[in-house]
Chains A and B, each alone.
Chain A
Amino acid sequence: MSFLKRNRFVSRIGRSSNIRAGLWLKCHGCKQVVYHKDVQENQMVCTLCGYHYKIKASQRIDYIVDPGSFQETHANLRAANPLGFEIAELDYSYNAKIEEGRRKSGLNEAIITGFATLENIRTVIGAMEFRFCGASMGSVVGEKFCRAADDAVRERIPLVMICSSGGARMQEGILALMQMAKTADAVHAMNDAGVPYIPILVDPTSGGVYASFAGLGDITIAEPGAYIGFAGKRLIEGALKVKLPDDFQTAEYQYQNGFVDIISPRTELRPLLGRLLRYLSPQERLAAAEA
C-alpha cells in the first residue's frame, strides 16, 4: 500500500518533522515549509503548490455543508467480525483492528452519513474515513451507504458521497465483496427514483469501492492528484514487471481517459456542488419548472 507511505496523516506531520509541532509544516507536495495556519485556513490545501492533505471525514463534510446543518445518521452500526478473523499464531486480530480504527478516528466505522443543507439545498451527505482500516468497505460501510441512498430516495433529495477507500475489507472476506453488489444496487435505486448521486473521489479511491458505488456517479468529481484506480499500481507493476509513470491512476489520468467529469480543488467544491444540485435535485427542478 504505497499510498500509506506517500501521504502521512496531518496529525503526525508535526511530530515527524523537526519543525516545531503545529506551527509550520513541510508540504508533502512541494517540500517547502509552509505556515500551518495558512494551510488550515485553506482547507488543508497547500497554499504554495495546491497539494491536498488527507483530512478527517468529518472535516470534509464541514467544508462542504452549510455551517451547523449536518445531522449524523446510522451511527449505531458497527462491525461484527462475521468470519471470526482472529489468527492466534500470527497474533492478528480483526477485533483489535476495529478497536484501533475506533481509537484513531473516534468513529464507529469507516464512513459517516447524515443529512445536511448545501447552499440551502437539503441533501444526504457521506464521507469515508481513511484512518479507520484504510476506509476499506466491509459490511457496515456497505449497509450505511445503502441506508444513505434509501434516505435520499425516500426524501427525494440528492446524495453526495466523498469516497476514499483502499478497497474491500479483507477481514470480512466474501461478505465484503458482496457489498459491491449491494451498493451498486443502491445507486440503481437512486437512478430509478431520479435522485442525483454525486460521488467525490479523494485520495485514494481504489479496488472494490471504485468498482461499485464510486464508479457509478451521475456526475463524478475528483480532488486534484487523488489516486483513483481498480487494481493497485504495485500489483500491476509486479504482474507486468514494469515501472509505471507517476501520473498513472491519478485523478488527472482518469479525467483524460474519460472517467471523471470535473477535477475540483477542495476549496471550490462547495460552490460547484451548489450549482450542480440546483440543476439536478428534484425539489430545485420542480421549483425551476414552476417559476
Chain B
Amino acid sequence: MAEPKKRRAGADQALPFEKTLVEIEERLSKAQTDEERSAIAAELDKERRKVFESLTPWQRVQLARHPQRPRMLDFTTRILEDFVELHGDRALADDPAMVTGIGRFQGQTVCVVGQQKGTTTDEKLQRNFGMAGPEGYRKALRIFDMAERFGLPLLTFVDTPAAHPGVEAEQHGQGPAIARNLWALTRLRTPVFCAILSEGGSGGALGIAVGDWIAMLEHAIYVICPPERCAEILWRDAERKEIAASAMKVTAYDLKALGVIDSVVGEPPGGAHKDHAGAASILGEEVERFLAGCREGRWKPELRREKYRKMGAWIEDDAETARQAQA
C-alpha cells in the first residue's frame, strides 16, 4: 500500500503556511468517531478558508510550484482516452520536456500539446523540468499544423518555468522558434484551448498558450519572468522576490481582471496537489464546455486575433496634445 507513505511525504513537503492544515489533517486521519471526524472536518474547512483567503502573492507562487502539484500527464491521462504520444520535431531531436500527441475527449478527437515537468527526480531530469528547447517548440508547431490539416481542436497544457536557457537552445534558435509558434497560433482556423496548470513562465509558456479560450487553474501563476528574476533585474536582488511577486500581478484572478485569461478554473479544497483526480475532473468540465463551443461554432480565428490585438493598455493623446508635448 503506497498511500500512507505518500501522505507522510505530503507532510514533509508542506509549505510553511500549510503546516496548521497538515496538523488538522493528521488529527482527522486519527479520529475515532464520526462525531469527532465531522468536528475536525469542519475545523479544517474553516482553517483552510482562512489560510487561502489571506495568501500573499508570494505564497501563491509557492503554491503554484508545490512539488506535489499534478503535472500535465496527471491531467491528460485522466481526462483523455486512448492518448497516443507523437515524438520528434522532424529536424533534429525529440524534446521530452514537450509532450505532443493525439487522443479523445468524450468521443471527440483532439490534438494535444503540453510541457511535462516530471514527478520523480529521474523524470524531472529527463524532461529538463519542463523547460523545452527549440526542438520542443518545433514539435509543438508540427502538431498545430496537424490539428489544422485534420480540422481537430487543439488542447494545450502549460506547465513550465521558462523556455530552456542553454547554449544549444540558442544555437538552434530558441527565439525564432517561439516566435514562429505565436505566429502560427494566432491564425489557426482550428479552435485552440489552453490551460495554465501551475507555472506559466514567460515566452516559454506563451509559445503554446495563444488560443480562443485560456483557462487558468486557481492557484497557478502566469508571469513575464519568475519574480526572483524580476527582482534581480530591477533591484539587483533576487531576495526581493516577494515585492516583485505582488507588483507583477501573477495570480489567476489578477490575470482575469487584466483580460489575459478567459476563465479561472477552481481547484479542490486545499489546492490541486491535495487531490489530483479532483483537479483533473474540474479541468475536464472546462474542456467539455470548450468542445461544446466548438460544436456551436463559437470560436472564430478573427475573434481570437481581435482579442490579442486589444491586449495591453496605453494612453492615446489627441494629435494636438501630442504635438504640443513634443514641441
Does A179 have its Cβ within 8 Å of any Cβ on chain B? Answer: yes
Q: Are B186 and A177 in contact (CB under 8 A)?
A: no
Q: Are B317 and A185 in contact (CB under 8 A)?
A: no
Does A85 have its Cβ within 8 Å of any Cβ on chain B? Answer: yes
Q: Are A75 and B305 in contact (CB under 8 A)?
A: no
Within 8 A of B (CB), among A208-245: 208, 210-216, 229-232, 235-236, 239-240, 242, 244
Which of A87-95, A124-132, A261-269 is the contact stretch? Answer: A87-95
Provide the A158-191 mask, 1 if CB < 8 A to any CB of B, else 0. 0000000000101111111111111011011000
Q: With a CB–CB cut-off of 8 A, which chain A residues contact B230? A: 170
Q: With a CB–CB cut-off of 8 A, which chain A residues contact B319? A: 76
User: In the complex, what residue of chain A is closest to B202 when comparing beta carbons?
Assistant: A177
Q: Are A216 and B167 in contact (CB under 8 A)?
A: no
Which of B74-82, B110-118, B247-255 is the contact stretch? Answer: B247-255
Q: Are A257 and B182 in contact (CB under 8 A)?
A: no
Within the complex, which residue of B169, B171, B182, B240 is in contact with A180, where a contact is CB–CB below 8 Å?
B182
Q: Are B317 and A236 in contact (CB under 8 A)?
A: no
Does B172 have its Cβ within 8 Å of any Cβ on chain A? Answer: yes
Q: With a CB–CB cut-off of 8 A, which chain A residues contact B164? A: 231
Q: Are A178 and B167 in contact (CB under 8 A)?
A: no
Known: A174-B249, A239-B166. A140 touches B314 (CB 8 A): yes
Provide the A273-290 mask, 1 if CB < 8 A to any CB of B, else 0. 000000000000000000
User: In the complex, what residue of chain B is closest to A239 when comparing beta carbons?
Assistant: B165
Q: Are A181 and B179 in contact (CB under 8 A)?
A: no
Q: In the complex, what distance in Å separates the CA atom of A76 from the CA atom of B326?
A: 10
Q: Are A139 and B170 in contact (CB under 8 A)?
A: no
Q: With a CB–CB cut-off of 8 A, which chain A residues contact B171? A: 257
Within 8 A of A (CB), among B232-262: 233-235, 240, 243, 247-250, 255, 258, 260
Does B122 have its Cβ within 8 Å of any Cβ on chain A? Answer: no
User: In the complex, what residue of chain A is closest to B318 when comparing beta carbons?
Assistant: A76
Q: In the complex, what distance in Å separates the CA atom of A133 from the CA atom of B321?
A: 23
Q: Are B179 and A173 in contact (CB under 8 A)?
A: no
Q: Are A174 and B234 in contact (CB under 8 A)?
A: no
> Shortest Cβ distance from B128 into chain A, in angstroms?
11
Within 8 A of A (CB), among B308-325: 308-309, 311-319, 321-322, 325
Within the complex, which residue of B172, B203, B316 is in contact with A77, where a contact is CB–CB below 8 Å?
B316
State the main secondary structure of chain A at its contact with B. Answer: helix
Within 8 A of B (CB), among A31-79: 75-79
Q: With a CB–CB cut-off of 8 A, which chain A residues contact B249? A: 83, 173-174
Q: Are A230 and B206 in contact (CB under 8 A)?
A: no
Q: With a CB–CB cut-off of 8 A, which chain B residues contact A244? A: 167
Q: In the complex, what distance in Å separates the CA atom of A214 from the CA atom of B187?
A: 19
Which of B93-101, B143-151, B219-227, B276-284 is the contact stretch? Answer: B219-227
User: In the complex, what residue of chain B is closest to A134 when comparing beta carbons?
Assistant: B233
Q: Are B322 and A76 in contact (CB under 8 A)?
A: yes
Provide the A87-112 mask, 1 if CB < 8 A to any CB of B, else 0. 10110100000000000000010000
Q: With a CB–CB cut-off of 8 A, which chain B residues contact A178? A: 206, 260, 308, 311-312
Provide the B175-203 mask, 1 if CB < 8 A to any CB of A, else 0. 11011101101110000000000000011
Q: Are B312 and A248 in contact (CB under 8 A)?
A: no
Interface centre among B175, B187, B203, B319 (most CB of A within 10 A): B175
Q: With a CB–CB cut-off of 8 A, which chain B residues contact A83? A: 247-249
Q: In the complex, what distance in Å separates the CA atom of A87 from the CA atom of B321?
A: 29
Q: Are A215 and B170 in contact (CB under 8 A)?
A: no
Does A119 have its Cβ within 8 Å of any Cβ on chain B? Answer: no
Does B44 have its Cβ within 8 Å of any Cβ on chain A? Answer: no
Q: With a CB–CB cut-off of 8 A, which chain B residues contact A213? A: 179
Within the complex, which residue of A108, A170, A216, A231 is in contact with B233, where a contact is CB–CB below 8 Å?
A170
Does A291 have its Cβ within 8 Å of any Cβ on chain B? Answer: no
> Shortest Cβ distance from B164 into chain A, in angstroms?
8
Q: With a CB–CB cut-off of 8 A, which chain A residues contact B160? A: none
Q: In the complex, what distance in Å separates the CA atom of A284 from the CA atom of B175?
A: 32
Does B174 have its Cβ within 8 Å of any Cβ on chain A? Answer: yes
Q: Are B247 and A175 in contact (CB under 8 A)?
A: no
Q: In the complex, what distance in Å separates the CA atom of A182 from the CA atom of B240?
A: 31
Q: Are A208 and B203 in contact (CB under 8 A)?
A: yes
Q: Are B187 and A231 in contact (CB under 8 A)?
A: no
Does B173 have its Cβ within 8 Å of any Cβ on chain A? Answer: yes
Does A204 have its Cβ within 8 Å of any Cβ on chain B? Answer: no
Does B291 have its Cβ within 8 Å of any Cβ on chain A? Answer: no
Known: A170-B225, A185-B187. A82 touches B258 (CB 8 A): yes
Known: A174-B248, A215-B175, A258-B173. 15 other contacts (CB 8 A): A146-B309, A170-B224, A170-B248, A173-B224, A173-B248, A174-B249, A174-B255, A177-B203, A181-B185, A181-B206, A185-B186, A215-B180, A216-B176, A240-B167, A257-B172
29 contacts between A and B (CB under 8 A): A78-B314, A82-B313, A139-B311, A139-B314, A146-B309, A168-B224, A170-B234, A173-B247, A174-B250, A174-B258, A175-B312, A176-B312, A180-B179, A181-B206, A184-B179, A184-B183, A185-B182, A208-B202, A210-B176, A212-B179, A214-B175, A229-B175, A230-B165, A230-B178, A231-B164, A231-B170, A232-B165, A257-B172, A257-B173
Q: Contact residues of B with A, CB < 8 Å? A: 162-167, 169-176, 178-180, 182-183, 185-187, 202-203, 206-207, 210, 222-225, 229-230, 233-235, 240, 243, 247-250, 255, 258, 260, 305, 308-309, 311-319, 321-322, 325-326
